[in-house]
Structure 1
Amino acid sequence: MDNKRRLQEWQQQRAAREAEKAAREAAREAEIFGYMIDSNLLEVSVVDSLVQSGKTLSDLLQYHPDKLVSEFYMEAQHATEFLKGRITKKPRLDNEEPHYVNQRVLANKCFKVPFQGTAHQELHNQLVKHRATMASDVHYSPYCALVQSSGMGKSRALMELSELDVYVCYCSLASHTATAFPPRTGGLADKLASTFTEHGMVFYLKAWLSILADCISTTSPEAWKQYQLPDEHGFPKGDLAEKILKEWMKSDLDDTYKGKDIDKWSTASCSEVIKSIEKALQKKCRQCSPDEKTECKHTLAVSSLPLMKQEGCK
């Protein structure tokens, strides 16, 4: 009996080890750890070292809970079911892509938990700094590049700029089959991916600015952000991207740029819509008294800078 009991215990322990190994491999494959990482990108190396040392999902959730998005897992129920779905080998039809669907569902839920860290503030500080120090004869534009692996929090940090009263203009160029979240921005991304001229990009930016100018007086930065995020099924919540695309397509027959200096033409082309946005932002400024709003200078430094996210660009 003792030998039989010991054999059963050994078999149970072996099965548990194999299940844990399979779960760890599935989690790594699905980049579940990447979605858990705090948006402060400095934590990536710390979590990666834990993964490489063989730590389990439970170990990661217990490690530095204020630096991981542990709230999402609630009793780790969602993660457990997700891992079971990845471990179980089930026959599927050719048109089924559970791997992509599961990752997007997971990322969608992670987007809804309270934001961790100060990555969005650091990004905002850099943009303001670049704007203030930019020299027009040296720099093309006060751009700031975010470079990091997929699932590490770039999109979330960018979108969180809305908490700092920034209107973010978002367009994802992720491939049609990628698990990126938010997913590819439909027809707008298709047209952007095939636009290779300077005047074409000016028309693209002007389309964003024109629609924003129409909405800004009645739309908060948070609401503007939500219009650009998909629902739980991956479909757009509104028709903002479609409006931008239609506005952009109006310029297809515009040839006013021909024979002109492209920089001077682009400035003249967008100046009026930028001024209208600046005026609207001045009226909404929280730092000015009613008498000061006509002379507001708080918004002028960055209001004419459209913050774009183009994921998947080559």
Structure 2
Amino acid sequence: AQLNISGNVTIHRGSETLEDSKLVTELHNTEDNAYDIIVTENDDESSSSDEKEEDAKQIEPNRIEEAFQVKYQGTTLETFCSRLKLFHDEWYQQIKPYAPYLTIIQSSGSGKTRLVGELRTKGIYILYICERHECSSGYPASTPYVQKILETIRDYKFGALLSIAIKEIKNKNWSAEEFWNIQIKDDHKAECNDFWRSVFKSLLQQKKPSSDSRDENFVKKLFHKASIVCCIDEAHELLAKATKAKDDETYFVKWRRQIRDISWVGFFNILLSTSGKIGNFLPPVTQDTRSARSHDFVIFPAYLDVNTMDVLAPLAENVGKEYDYTRVVYLGIPLWGSLAQAGVSLINLVHLASQKIRNFSKKNNDHLANLACMACSLSLEVSPRIAEVDSLIASHMATALGVSLDRTSILCTYPSDPILASGALKGIIDVGWENCLDTLLELFSRGVVEAGERGELVNRILFSKAYADAVRECFPDSPVTYLQKVPLKLFLKSLLREEIDGLDELLNRMGIDEAEIGFNHWTSLLATNQKYVESGGMKFLTANLVIEAYHRHTAFKMPLGFPVIDHIIPFKYNAGYGIISIKTRIQKKTTFGAKDISSLIHPLNSFGKWKKGYKILGIYIDLGLDRENAVESKAELKSRNAPQTRSKNKNNEDKKDVKNDYDQIIYIQGVGSFKCCGKEISERLSKILFTRPWPLDTQWSEFDEKTDLKREDVIKTFLPLVFEQKQSLVDKWQLI
């Protein structure tokens, strides 16, 4: 018989996965060669059959093992070893009753597993247990007998399993390097199977509980100078309940209880999880289990310092002054550069980034995926206290910067990572700007995203969309990566609906008529006060900062409250680098004048000091979104019109001061002036300015998705002064 299938298909034969994530159109099934077939919904209705991009799930098993062999870069390992020793010593001294485990929390691709593996170079043995599903094609592969390992946790035999495994490592006389390779390299699979088979055979033969767990010198007797860590990767699998009983505990709770009974000096535990949330493994005290709250033990803080940003930058080839977008794979997290070294193409890296930041979702209404893409591309600030932060880090590539001591607040961000930003911009465009803006409005209404400067956000949306449109116009026959530079003239043409009289002449006079520009994300400068500046924060630009931003393919969001300029976009011309300085006005409190022109193009306001001859193209924007009647849409050049004065030359003759031809800026009035802004987008941008949590919104009064409880009148009574009451206090107290 013949079975025809279409859709996303996973095929299993025994424990082996065949053709995972590839489209299978024909399959012959026989009694002697039986297959299990799982068909899942394909939500990527927009993808075409001739799409050239390699599926991300197909990249990883083919390339990541090779990527793991790229020489380790940076100083992250030294910091990690130091922290691991600190935690071990604090636990061993028992001044405070710490639980002996360290949890590494950081986004996917930052190199968590690789960091743990590098401990072998310090003479530390790593007992690596990967809880990945046995049929998963991810790397490193699932540990053999992984289900049996979970059963030892369930049956309170995990301590015995550890002691037997450590003895087996000693009996084999492996070095730390050899043991690590046996566990993760595919060509050592048989040896790894034999190791675990032997461990479970010994465990089965053990008739009475071992006393090893109570012998604090157990490890040191076997390994005089070496230490051992037990690392559980994909630790979110521990969050399942150990049995089907309703009141049973999770594997994680049982595991944590058992490791607290182990007192070995020179031993420690490490948890890794790509998709596990911080609160799962390091819960706030108020959210931990009742049993945990009744016992006196302390949890070590999360380890976030997998600071591997840009560590592969030295591997880039073709270094020099000219922009080369193939070099940016070595910026940001090391995943991109490692895969590039393993032969993965740039277009496939961008496709992988777009899938990972959306957690492999292409649904238009996936609010978390849309939020992740916009936060990465548009430099949104996400409140540290909302539940979504955990998910952005666990599943959507956000970088965790810090966790409060009570573990209730998590500070996250999207650092400057050109490949991830390219994937984010691609993710926005794939589902549509309108859908992403709808998500943004809903998040504003729920208080999920910090309001910040709303007008400046509108500005970033418009300029980002203009760049994306210019790329597609400039490279119609090339794969779109959103990493290319485009002519400055084309960018301005893509930005504005109508051409500006005299603009070409201005660019010619400035010598930037052949300049190039390009950016796929915005980087926020955060130094809003002198204290932050003294800590090393950047408040003003430097010439080198502009150059680096150009080659990182980013633009700047100036510090909140910066008095003159909101945004700066770098460009490059034949004699050097310049900037576009942008000021946005939402509420027209003052009349535009010569002072606005001077402030935009004066280097002091961008660099904090005078820079003679630096090319600055100023853009002043009055969106007019705050007025009831739409303002006239227009774009034109504005001149400073400084009064001319007379001076005497050396012959005592009158001489007119020469007017500076560069004292002109682009003045844009009305959101309708922007070519990239149609009616649907314009309406949403208007709402962005004023959307905040509104108590009468139906989302606060729903019984279910279809039923509104109609609580408006009740809610109003909670808020006198805010809403008109049926009887005012003036009437109740007869105040007049």
TM-score normalised by L of structure 1: 0.51
Q: Deviations over 1:123-162 (max 9, x none)?
A: 2111100111224474354321112333331111110111
Q: What's 1:6 paired with?
A: none
Task: Find the aligned partners of 2:199 and 2:104 in 1 and give their Cα distance.
Answer: 28
Higher strand share: 2
Are 1:170 and 2:115 an aligned pair?
Answer: no
- The alpha carbon displacement at 1:279 in A equals 3.0
Partners of 2:109 and 2:135 in 1: CA distance:
15
Q: SS at the partner of 2:209? A: coil
Distance 1:309 1:241, change over 3 A: farther
- 1:73 counterpart residue number: none
1:95: how far off?
A: 7.8
Residue 145 of structure 1 pairs with residue 103 of structure 2: yes
Q: Tell me how far 1:204 sits from its aligned partner.
A: 1.5
Sort the Cα spacing of 1:90 and 1:213 in 2 relative to 1 into closer, same or farther, 3 A: closer
What is the distance in 2 between the residues matched to 1:197 and 1:90? Answer: 38
Q: Is the 8 A contact 2:140 2:184 kept in 1?
A: yes
Instruction: Name the aligned partner's letter for residue 195 of structure 1.
Output: T
Contact 1:203 1:251 in 2 (8 A): yes
Normalized per residue, which structure has more helix? 1
Task: Indicate the residue corresponding to 1:4 in structure 2.
Answer: none
CA RMSD of aligned residues (A): 3.7
- The residue type equivalent to 2:201 in the other structure is M
Q: Is the alpha carbon distance of 1:207 and 1:92 closer, same or farther for their aligned partners in structure 2, counting shifts above 3 Å? A: farther
Q: 1:184 pairs with 142, 148, 161, which one?
A: 142
Contact 2:130–2:140 (CA under 8 A) maintained in structure 1: yes
Instruction: For residue 236 of structure 1, give the secondary structure of its aligned residue in structure 2.
Output: helix
Quickly say closer, same or farther: Cα 1:280–1:166, change in 2 above 3 A.
closer
How do 1:87-236 and structure 2 match up within 5 A?
91=25, 100-134=57-91, 135-136=93-94, 138-139=96-97, 141-187=99-145, 189-197=146-154, 199-216=156-173, 219-231=174-186, 236=188
- In 2, Cα distance between equivalents of 1:160 and 1:228: 14
Instruction: Return the offset for 1:105.
Output: 1.5
- Offset at 1:185? 0.9
Q: Matches of 2:72 and 2:36 in 1, distance apart?
A: 35
CA distance in 2, matches of 1:247, 1:274: 17
Query: Structure 1 pair 95/236, CA: closer, same or farther in 2 (3 Å)?
Result: farther
Render the CA deviation track for 1:26-56: whole Å, top value 9, x for unaligned.
xxxxxxxxxxxxxxxxxxxxxxxxxxxxxxx
Deviation, structure 1 residue 182:
0.4
Shift of 1:167: 1.2
Q: 1:105 to 1:92 in 2, by over 3 A?
A: farther
- Rounded to whole Å, the distance in 2 between the matches of 1:130 and 1:139 is 12
- Is 1:254 the counterpart of 2:200? The answer is no
CA distance in 2, matches of 1:303, 1:199: 21
Matched to 2:221, the amino acid is: S
Alpha-carbon distance between aligned partners in 2 of 1:271 and 1:238, rounded to the nearest angstrom: 33
Is the CA contact 1:171–1:185 (under 8 Å) kept in the aligned structure 2?
A: yes
* One-letter amino acid of the structure 2 residue matched with residue 277 of structure 1: L
Q: Secondary structure at the match of 1:167?
A: strand
Deviation (angstroms), 1:250: 2.1
Q: Percent identity?
A: 16
Q: Which residue of 1 aligns with 2:213?
A: 267
Paired residues of 2:160 and 2:203 also in contact (CA < 8 A): yes
Task: Identify if the C-alpha distance between structure 1 residues 309 and 180 changes in structure 2 by more than 3 Å, giving closer, same or farther.
Answer: farther
Q: Is the 8 A contact 2:120 2:126 kept in 1?
A: yes
Does residue 304 (structure 1) correspond to residue 269 (structure 2)? The answer is no
Q: Tell me the distance in 1 between the aligned counterparts of 2:134 and 2:213.
A: 34
Structure 1 residue 307: Cα displacement: 5.2
2:662 corresponds in structure 1 to none
Q: CA deviation at 1:212?
A: 1.9
Asked if the contact 1:175–1:184 (Cα under 8 Å) also holds between the matched residues in 2, the reply is: yes
Asked whether the equivalents of residues 100 and 268 of structure 2 are also in contact (C-alpha less than 8 Å), the reply is no
Asked whether the equivalents of residues 170 and 310 of structure 1 are also in contact (C-alpha less than 8 Å), the reply is no
Post-superposition shift, 1:251? Answer: 2.3
- Going from structure 1 to structure 2, the CA distance change for 1:247 and 1:176 (only over 3 Å counts) comes to closer
- Report the CA distance shift for 1:178/1:205 in structure 2 as closer, same or farther (over 3 A): same
Distance verdict in 2 for CA 1:308–1:215, change over 3 Å: farther
Contact 2:130 2:142 in 1 (8 A): yes
Q: Which has the higher contact order (CA 8 A, sep 6+)?
A: 1
Question: Is the contact made by 1:171 and 1:309 (CA closer than 8 Å) also made in structure 2?
Answer: no
**SS where residue 117 of structure 1 aligns?**
coil
- 2: CA distance, partners of 1:133 / 1:143: 11
User: Deviation at 1:267?
Assistant: 2.9
Amino acid at match of 2:213: T
Question: C-alpha displacement at 1:177, in angstroms?
Answer: 3.9
Counterpart amino acid of residue 278 in structure 1: F
Task: Judge conservation of contact 2:152–2:158 (CA < 8 Å) in 1.
Answer: yes
Measure, in 1, the Cα distance between the counterparts of 2:24 and 2:200: 45
Give the 3 Å change call, closer, same or farther, for CA 236–125 of structure 1 in structure 2: same
CA contact (8 A) 2:102 2:269 kept: no
Structure 1 residues 223 and 250 mapped into 2: Cα distance closer, same or farther (>3 Å)?
Answer: closer
Structure number with greater Rg is 2
Residue 170 to residue 108, structure 1, CA distance change in 2 (3 Å): same
User: Within 1, Cα distance between the matches of 2:269 and 2:188?
Assistant: 20
Q: Which amino acid aligns with 1:174?
A: R
1:279 aligns with 2:237: no
Structure 1 unmatched ranges of 5 or more = 1-85, 259-264, 283-301
Q: Please give the TM-score of this superposition, normalised by the length of structure 2.
A: 0.24
Deviation at 1:253, TM superposition (A): 5.1
Q: 1:198 to 1:311 in 2, by over 3 A?
A: farther
> Which piece of structure 1 moves more, 163-172 or 88-97?
88-97
Structure 1: how far apart are the matches of 2:121 and 2:64? 20
Q: For the residues of structure 2 that align with 1:223 and 1:131, how far apart are their CA atoms?
A: 24
Confirm or deny: 8 A CA contact 2:120 2:177 kept in the other structure.
yes
Amino acid at match of 1:104: P
